[in-house]
Amino acid sequence: MSQTPGRLRLAWVAVLGLGAVTCSAPDSDAGGPSRDPLPRGLVPMDQAIQPTEGPHLAEPVLHRFGEQVFLYVANSNDTVATYEVTPAGTLVLTDERAPGVDEVRCTTLAIHEPSASLYCGNDDVSALDRYSLADPTRPVRDGQWPLYDDFRGLAADLEVHGDRLLIGSWDLGLVSMGIGPDGQLDGELVEAGIEGNFRRLTSAGEGRVWALTADRGVLMLEHAGAGAFTELAQLPIDGPAMDLGFDQDHAGEGGLERAAVALGSMGAQIVEWDGQSLRAGTSVHPPGVVSAADLDGDALAAVTLTGAYLYDLRADAHERVADRPGGGWAPDEPPVAGYLDDGRWTSVEREGSLLHARMFEGELFMTDWNYIERVGVDLDGYPVGIDIQRAAYHAEGDAWIGVGVRNPGAVVQRVELLGVGGVVLNTAELGPFETAALYFPAERFELANPELVIAVVRERGLPVREYGSMVLRRPAAQGWPVEVHGAPAPGEAVPPVTLARSLEAVPGSPVETVTLPNARPERVVFLGSDCAAMWPELDDMAWRMREGDLRSPDGDDAQARGFLAIFDDLTVRGKETRWRLVGLPWGFFGTELPPELGMANPWSDLYEDGFGIHELPGAAHHPTDYELDADGRVIAVEREYRGTHPLWAGSVAPPPE
């Protein structure tokens, strides 16, 4: 079941100057005495922009070498980037790309300290690679070992456990190789016989390993020598398996070990090990898709694709910070102590996608697709700033443009929405945990011309943050036919398109055709080739489909379905099985599509020429998502995914009549 957001504003916020009824609070901050701003719980320290072309940043690992700390981040086809984590609070790039371009792909990393080795695994190339960290500033490639044929046993996650390199695979469960004194692998793949679609591994004390699987939940494993492991306990999870963060620094306190599990739209869950069994602890449900989670004592980081939330787990949190109550997004939750949105800190335009996060020595480190972020943690702080719909796409005939805004915590925050020249378009005062839709007249915006509107957030009378939301109006289909120009806007019909599915993953195999639209409510995800930016959304949507939790946004509460329209044939490398897309229908439209099918479509590339809208800021180059009603008409277009907590204005409240 989906979680109900906090106190949702169900009425539209009136447009200034039009004399309409308003549901917003009075302008209480205007003209009043200024006060010191509240301290932030998540404190921006440094954000590094990865300089390689088209960064695809995935998992980070951090390690201390004496007095120095280094962060290594997997960068997909650009191997690994290296940053020094300095005592001055900065991130200093020491190596933008380790050797191995065109030969090495890295989406997961692990470090073997005794041999100063960095291991790289990935989702698409059947090999593991070793890099020497003899000079920790510049990894040197020093060995590659093949995995299985036919793309079996690919690495969802790597973890070093003693003298074994553990490989959590999607299809073969737990696999490992031995590590020699010099860091070289012995090349012998040993399957542990522990079944599961493995997603995360972390080494614990007393020879044990925590494991997160997509199909069996959390597992506690015990190393029985060489590549053998025994399963000690299992705990089912309620949500897609996104991430597992182990509280290494506080293991054993109170006789417990604890880990935080990220569960997509279902939030985050603390899991405890008491030496005998696994049990569920505190859960939190921030309004978004929790892609990463980690735990450091009383600090819980639940990182969604669009913003990071810090929770204060201290037993006396309410007494320490009395004006920061808990229970905001779900009953009995701990207080939200901090919030930080995704995207570039020095730009108002929202872009990026928070995919991975780790706590290290009291700080939070996150990968944000193009950026590495270093964030301070203050449990006595506050969630300052808002979440905002990053783009609003409308048809020419729409009289109103709407932007959704959300207060992530208990601090009352005033929002001023400004157009070109500082013209005030709308204002609102967001109460604790409140979501609102800000509407303003569409006629002031040109057609086919993206324009940024700025949301200025004030807290206690002081401006604390600026955000941008891109507005784009599509010319009417009568003069700008969808079949020619693509990108149908809300209210317009999607033209019929044909996609294909291979019946067998062999060259020349027969195909079955699938068509869109499908005469039912659905969310169609259009994208190019598979990449790491897509994984959390696909995992979350597939889980929601299986659970019957994907609902139509048109108000009739009908069961909707997701549909994945992708360039690649997902059966060729087993990706349909790997990502558990059973229940999530899909079709491909790329070069493998038979010519007679491709010629029937309005465009040769359905994403780049038909449905992609790159004028709107997104998580990455893809996806672009279309919410359709049962008649195949567009309800909304999004380039961000918030799961069961949408923020586009029409999902919050209808426009004025």
90-124: pLDDT as tens digits: 999 999 999 999 999 999 999 999 999 999 999 99
291: left (phi over 0), alpha (psi -120 to 50) or beta: alpha
3-state secondary structure of 184: coil
Is residue 437 situated within a structural domain?
Answer: yes
Is residue 27 situated within a structural domain?
Answer: no
DSSP string, 288-347: S-EEEEEEETTEEEEEETTEEEEEE--TTHHHHSTTS-S-SSSTTPPPEEEEEESS-TT-
Question: Are residues 128 and 115 in contact, defined by beta-carbon separation less than 8 angstroms?
Answer: no
Q: How do residues 9-26 score in pLDDT, each as one tens digit? A: 333 333 333 222 222 333
Q: How do residues 245-267 score in pLDDT, each as one tens digit? A: 999 999 989 889 999 999 999 99
The residue type found at 395 is A
Tokens matching residue 563: 């549909």
- Please tell me whether residues 435 and 291 are part of one structural domain: no
Distance CA 464, CA 479 (A): 43
Domain boundary among 220, 236, 252: 236
Look at residue 144 and tell me whether its pLDDT is greater than 90: yes
Question: Are residues 57 and 75 in contact, defined by beta-carbon separation less than 8 angstroms?
Answer: yes
Lowest mean per-residue pLDDT among 71-75, 528-532, 548-552: 548-552
Which single residue is written with the structure tokens 């309620």? 238
Is residue 589 situated within a structural domain?
Answer: yes
Domain boundary among 341, 359, 384: 384
**Per-residue confidence (pLDDT) for residue 508, from 0 to 100:** 63
Is residue 25 situated within a structural domain?
Answer: no
- Please tell me whether residues 187 and 213 are part of one structural domain: yes
Q: Please state the φ and ψ torsions of residue 390, each to the nearest 5 degrees.
A: -80, -15
Distances (CA, A) of 129 to 13, 48, 50, 123, 311: 55, 26, 22, 13, 37
**Per-residue confidence (pLDDT) for residue 509, from 0 to 100:** 67
**Per-residue confidence (pLDDT) for residue 39, from 0 to 100:** 94
Distance CA 300, CA 353 (A): 20
Q: How many CB atoms lie under 10 A from the CB of residue 398? A: 18
* pTM, two decimal places: 0.93
Show Cβ contacts of residue 429 under 8 Å, excluding neighbours closer than 6 positions: 24, 25, 26, 27, 28, 29, 412, 413, 414, 415
- Please tell me whether residues 111 and 201 are part of one structural domain: yes
- Please tell me whether residues 515 and 440 are part of one structural domain: no
**Per-residue confidence (pLDDT) for residue 151, from 0 to 100:** 80
- Please tell me whether residues 109 and 189 are part of one structural domain: yes
Question: Are residues 435 and 8 in contact, defined by beta-carbon separation less than 8 angstroms?
Answer: yes
Closest to 74 measured CA to CA, from 84, 83, 91, 61: 61
Please report, rounded to a whole number, the percentage of residues in the chain having pLDDT higher than 90: 78
Look at residue 5 and tell me whether its pLDDT is greater than 60: no
Q: Is 102 exposed, middle or buried (0-12, 13-18, 19+ CB in 10 A)?
A: exposed
For residue 554, the Cα-to-chain-centroid distance in whole angstroms is: 25
Lowest mean per-residue pLDDT among 105-109, 147-151, 229-233, 644-648: 147-151
- Please tell me whether residues 318 and 257 are part of one structural domain: yes
Look at residue 2 and tell me whether its pLDDT is greater than 80: no
Give the residues across from 229 on adjacent strands.
Answer: 223
**Per-residue confidence (pLDDT) for residue 8, from 0 to 100:** 32
Look at residue 131 and tell me whether its pLDDT is greater than 60: yes
Distances (CA, A) of 516 to 175, 268, 307, 460, 495: 40, 34, 32, 50, 8
Structural domains of the chain, count: 4
Is residue 28 situated within a structural domain?
Answer: no
Q: How many CB atoms lie under 10 A from the CB of residue 61? A: 21
Question: What mean pLDDT comes out for the span 557-585?
Answer: 84
3-state secondary structure of 129: strand
> Regarding predicted confidence, which is higher, 224 or 459?
224
pLDDT band per the 50, 70, 90 thresholds, residue 34: very low
- Please tell me whether residues 251 and 395 are part of one structural domain: no
Q: Please state the φ and ψ torsions of residue 10, each to the nearest 5 degrees.
A: -95, -5
Closest to 365 measured CA to CA, from 376, 379, 381, 380: 376
pLDDT band per the 50, 70, 90 thresholds, residue 36: low
Tokens matching residue 471: 């507005």
Tokens matching residue 504: 């067998």
pLDDT band per the 50, 70, 90 thresholds, residue 504: low
**Per-residue confidence (pLDDT) for residue 313, from 0 to 100:** 98
**Per-residue confidence (pLDDT) for residue 14, from 0 to 100:** 34
Distance CA 642, CA 306 (A): 7
Distance CA 344, CA 342 (A): 7
Distance CA 119, CA 108 (A): 8
Question: Are residues 622 and 534 in contact, defined by beta-carbon separation less than 8 angstroms?
Answer: yes
Distance CA 181, CA 162 (A): 11
**Per-residue confidence (pLDDT) for residue 566, from 0 to 100:** 94
Distance CA 321, CA 381 (A): 8
Is residue 282 situated within a structural domain?
Answer: yes
Mean of all residue pLDDT scores within the chain:
91
Give the residues across from 144 on adjacent strands.
Answer: 129
Question: Are residues 335 and 342 in contact, defined by beta-carbon separation less than 8 angstroms?
Answer: no
Lowest mean per-residue pLDDT among 235-239, 406-410, 566-570: 566-570
Question: Are residues 62 and 86 in contact, defined by beta-carbon separation less than 8 angstroms?
Answer: no
- Please tell me whether residues 284 and 156 are part of one structural domain: no
Q: How do residues 474-483 score in pLDDT, each as one tens digit? A: 999 999 999 9
CATH code of residue 395: 2.60.40.2550
Give the residues across from 627 on adjacent strands.
Answer: 523, 636
- Please tell me whether residues 271 and 356 are part of one structural domain: yes
Question: Are residues 204 and 245 in contact, defined by beta-carbon separation less than 8 angstroms?
Answer: no
Is residue 50 situated within a structural domain?
Answer: no
Show Cβ contacts of residue 253 under 8 Å, excluding neighbours closer than 6 positions: none
**Per-residue confidence (pLDDT) for residue 25, from 0 to 100:** 31
DSSP 447: B
Q: What is the Cα gyration radius of the chain?
A: 25
Residues spanned by the domain of 168: 55-236
Question: What mean pLDDT comes out for the span 215-220?
Answer: 98
The sign of the dihedral angle between the CA atoms of 238, 241, 243, 245 is positive
Distance CA 343, CA 610 (A): 26
Domain boundary among 236, 265, 282: 236
Is residue 70 situated within a structural domain?
Answer: yes
- Please tell me whether residues 163 and 251 are part of one structural domain: no
Distances (CA, A) of 299 to 63, 259, 288, 367, 373: 20, 12, 19, 19, 18
- Please tell me whether residues 301 and 264 are part of one structural domain: yes
H/E element holding 309? strand 307-312
Show Cβ contacts of residue 134 under 8 Å, excluding neighbours closer than 6 positions: 116, 140
The 3-state secondary structure of 351-412 reads: CCCCCEEEEECCEEEEECCCEEEEEEECCCCECCCCEECCEEEEECCCCEEEEEEECCCCCC
CATH code of residue 303: 2.130.10.10
Q: How do residues 186-212 score in pLDDT, each as one tens digit? A: 999 999 999 999 999 999 988 999 999
Q: How do residues 442-477 score in pLDDT, each as one tens digit? A: 999 999 999 999 999 998 788 889 999 999 999 999
Order across the sheet with 336-341: list the strands.
290-296, 299-304, 307-312, 336-341
Look at residue 655 and tell me whether its pLDDT is greater than 90: yes
Show Cβ contacts of residue 202 under 8 Å, excluding neighbours closer than 6 positions: 159, 209, 210, 244, 245, 246, 248, 259
Using omega within 30 degrees of 0 as the cis cutoff, is the peptide bond preceding 495 cis? Answer: no
Angle made by CA atoms 88, 94, 99, in degrees to the nearest 5:
155
**Per-residue confidence (pLDDT) for residue 7, from 0 to 100:** 31
- How, if at all, do strands 462-474 and 391-395 pair? parallel
Tokens matching residue 587: 């079709």
Look at residue 576 and tell me whether its pLDDT is greater than 90: no
CATH code of residue 598: 3.40.30.10
- Please tell me whether residues 428 and 561 are part of one structural domain: no
Question: What mean pLDDT comes out for the span 161-167?
Answer: 98
Q: How do residues 267-299 score in pLDDT, each as one tens digit? A: 999 999 999 999 999 999 999 999 999 999 999
**Per-residue confidence (pLDDT) for residue 26, from 0 to 100:** 32
Using omega within 30 degrees of 0 as the cis cutoff, is the peptide bond preceding 450 cis? Answer: no
Tokens matching residue 141: 């490639």
Look at residue 28 and tell me whether its pLDDT is greater than 80: no
**Per-residue confidence (pLDDT) for residue 549, from 0 to 100:** 84
Question: What mean pLDDT comes out for the span 627-645?
Answer: 96
Question: Are residues 381 and 42 in contact, defined by beta-carbon separation less than 8 angstroms?
Answer: yes
Question: What mean pLDDT comes out for the span 32-51?
Answer: 84
Closest to 381 measured CA to CA, from 145, 127, 42: 42
**Per-residue confidence (pLDDT) for residue 27, from 0 to 100:** 38
